[in-house]
Structure 1
Amino acid sequence: MNAVIPREQAVRDLYAAYLADRKDIAGAMLTEDFTFSSPRDDHIDRAAYFERCWPKDPLFRAIYIEFLAVNGDEAVVRYRAEKLDGTSFANMESLRFRGDRIAAVEVYFGRNL
C-alpha cells in the first residue's frame, strides 16, 4: 500500500521536481483535470501547463521556499527563484488538493529581485 505524502512535503516535492526538470514526477502529482492560473494564464489545463510553464531547457539554479502553510485541502507558498542567467524573482502560489494530488495552482507574481 502506498503511503500518503503529507501535503507540505508534496508541495516541496513539486518545486523540487520543477528544479530538477522532472515533468514525470510533477505529472504524477497532478489530477487529470488539473488547472493552472496566473496573470498570464486563466485556468489552463495540464497539457497547456506543461507546454507553457515547463521550459524546454533547464531554467532555474535554485528555488527557495520562504513560507509554506497548509490548511485542509489548500497550501500557500512564497518562494524565491534564482535563474541560471543570474536573475531572480519572488512569487506566491495557492495550491488546492483533491485527495492526495494537486488539482489546481494559482500563481500571484511577485517582483524581480
Structure 2
Amino acid sequence: MNDMRTRQQTVRDLYAAYLDDRKDIVGAMLTEDFTFSSPRDDHIDRAEYFERCWPKQPLFRRIDIEFLAIDGNEAAVRYRAEKLDGASFGNMESLRFRGGKIASVEVYFGRDL
C-alpha cells in the first residue's frame, strides 16, 4: 500500500478508535513527542492530550469524515461529530506524520450543526 493510502487509513482508524474509546490503539499511532493544539490547548504533549481530550465516559454517537486530503506528510480532515445527547458540530483538523505515525494534530473548531 502506498504512503497516501496508508495515511488515509491511519486517519480513519484514529477517528474510529476515538469513537470506540480505544486509547491503546491511538497510543500506538502517535509519536513519543506528539503534540496537540486547539483553541483551548497550545501544543500539549501526548500525556496531556490523553488526560484532557479523551472523555472519561463515552461522548459521541458518531464521527463522519466529510473531507480527507493527504499531501506528503500532512492530512486535512473535515468531520461532523454527533454527541450522545444529540448535539452535533463540525471541525477541521490538520495532522502531520513522521514516518508511519502521527506527530501532531491541530484542531480548528467549527460550528454547532
TM-score interval for Structure 1 and Structure 2 normalised by the shorter chain: over 0.9
1:27 matched to 2:14: no
1:105 matched to 2:101: no
Q: What secondary structure, in the 3-state scheme, does the structure 2 residue paired with 1:6 have?
A: helix
Structure 1 counterpart of 2:40: 40
CA displacement at 1:26 relative to structure 2 = 0.5
Structure 2 counterpart of 1:16: 16
Structure 2 counterpart of 1:50: 50
Cα RMSD of the aligned pairs, angstroms, is 1.0
Structure 2 counterpart of 1:85: 85
CA displacement at 1:96 relative to structure 2 = 0.1
Tell me the amino acid that sits aligned with residue 79 of structure 1. Answer: Y
- In the superposition, the TM-score normalised over structure 1's length comes to 0.95
CA displacement at 1:17 relative to structure 2 = 0.2
- In the superposition, the TM-score normalised over structure 2's length comes to 0.95
Q: Give the Cα separation in 1 of the matches to 2:45 and 2:21.
A: 19
